[in-house]
Amino acid sequence: MLTFDRRTPRWVLLALLAVAAILVVARPANAQEASDFSGETLRVATKPLEPFVFVDDQPLRGFSVDYWNEVADRLGAETEWVQLDEVSDVIDAVAANDVDAGIAGISITTERETVVDFSQPYYNSGRQIATQNSSGTSTTQTLFNLVKSGTFLVPLLILIVLIFLVSHLVWWFERGYDDDFPEDYRTGIVEALWWSTVSVITGGEAVKDINRPWSRLVAVLWLLLGLFLLAFVTARATSVLTVAELESDIAGISDLSGKNVSTVQETSTVEFLIDEAGIVAREFPDLDSALDELVRGETDAVVFDAPVISYALNSRYQNSGLRLIDPPIGRDPYGIAIPPNSPLLEAVNRAVIEIGRDGTLDALLLEWFG
């Protein structure tokens, strides 16, 4: 700390006063440059991203549109919107200083921060997985998959062959001795098939008497072996259906390994899937294209920003048989992109902080997301 007394030279005091005066005069000028945009028109780039930006309506509307309008009001500035197609186009325009800012649902990433500056986050998103209800498999398809499964089909065929074999043995021993098994082959074998099938299913409750000793021996052996085979076939069917359900069930990001996963091209979700799950996803030009593939069963899951994919399923895909996996994965902060070294950044950050503190942000969230 500096101390002064009567022995301090007067020229030192005068020099210090001059420096202080310069700082006092210069500081308001710099602050004015950084914060006063009153009457200016700011060019702001955006892209379609419902419910953050609706471009089909004029003037533009959406959560991010309303948020920027609130920022601009606090800066005293007007806005000229520049509509682009992709987030990458917005970032490029901001980096090239072709626009004063960019906003939509732009995730703050390390890669993007190398070319643009970002405001303080104004929305914390996450990723969410969309998949088909009930694994997306119809009852007919499930039964078809069951029948063609070797673990179920082989014991079933063995059971059917034994039914025919036992039917012929019983008919052969009983024909001519029992009216329940006519001697005529066509009529008699039909009755024998009925007896052998009902016997193995009900455990011997078929309403036909077996009289001949050899027939009774075959019947006893058939009941023991048949019931075992029937139980084995039933267990196999249950096993196949359970495994099929588990294999097709998706409950979180860890279940996406080995699946066909889709997302939107040139978005931060592409890198997120690679970094978090080691998944190289199929990339589509927009979310609806990816969701359409999911509806047709040509992909297993779609991963994208939680509020965006949730809005799509609740508005455009209500009856499509799709569902969301809760909860959203991780945190994905959105920010306003600003050209590097722009004086606008400081002013925007002050507005972002004020909007969060005075309840305006809560009101916007309630309006757009409930």
CA distances 70 to 75, 206, 336, 337, 360, Å, are 9, 81, 13, 16, 9
Nearest Cα neighbor of 193 from 222, 220, 214 is: 222
pLDDT of residue 209: 65
Nearest in space to 194 (alpha carbons), one of 220, 164, 224 = 164
Local confidence band at 82 (pLDDT 50, 70, 90 cut-offs): very high
* pLDDT mean over 49-70: 92
* CB-CB contact of 157 with 132 (8 Å): no
How much is the pLDDT for 191? 76
Q: Is the pLDDT assigned to residue 335 strictly greater than 80?
A: yes
Average pLDDT over residues 198-224: 68
Dump pLDDT digits (tens) for 100-137: 999 999 999 999 999 999 999 999 999 999 998 765 45
Average pLDDT over every residue of 207-211: 64
Count other C-beta atoms under 10 Å from residue 283's C-beta.
Answer: 15
* Residue 217 vs residue 240, higher pLDDT: 217
Q: Tokens 């950050």 label which residue?
A: 349
Query: Is 204 or 272 the better-scoring residue by pLDDT?
Result: 272
Q: What is the pLDDT of residue 144?
A: 64
Q: Edge-to-edge strands of the sheet including 282-284? A: 282-284, 261-264, 301-305, 123-132, 322-334
Tens of pLDDT, residues 154-186: 777 877 887 788 777 777 777 767 667 777 788
pLDDT value of residue 24: 45
Q: Confirm if 128 and 303 have CB atoms less than 8 A apart.
A: yes
Task: Domains for the chain: give ranges and CATH numbers.
Answer: 37-122+335-369 (3.40.190.10), 130-137+250-331 (3.40.190.10), 140-248 (1.10.287.70)
> What does the pLDDT read at residue 31?
37
* CA separation for the pair 250, 294 (Å, rounded): 13
CA torsion angle 66 68 69 71 (round to 10): 130
Cβ atoms of 116 and 348 closer than 8 Å: no
Separation between Cα atoms, residue 311 and residue 139, nearest integer Å: 29
Q: What is the pLDDT of residues 286-319, one digit of tens each?
A: 999 999 999 988 999 999 999 999 999 998 998 8
Model pLDDT, residue 337: 97
How do residues 18-56 score in pLDDT, each as one tens digit?
655 555 444 443 333 434 788 899 999 999 999 999 988
Per-residue confidence (pLDDT) for residue 146, from 0 to 100: 62
Mean pLDDT of 260-273: 92
Least confident residue range of 61-75, 85-99, 231-245: 231-245
DSSP letter assigned to residue 49: B
Name the percent of the chain lying above pLDDT 70.
Answer: 76
Q: Which residues contact 354 (CB under 8 A, 6 or more apart)?
A: 74, 360
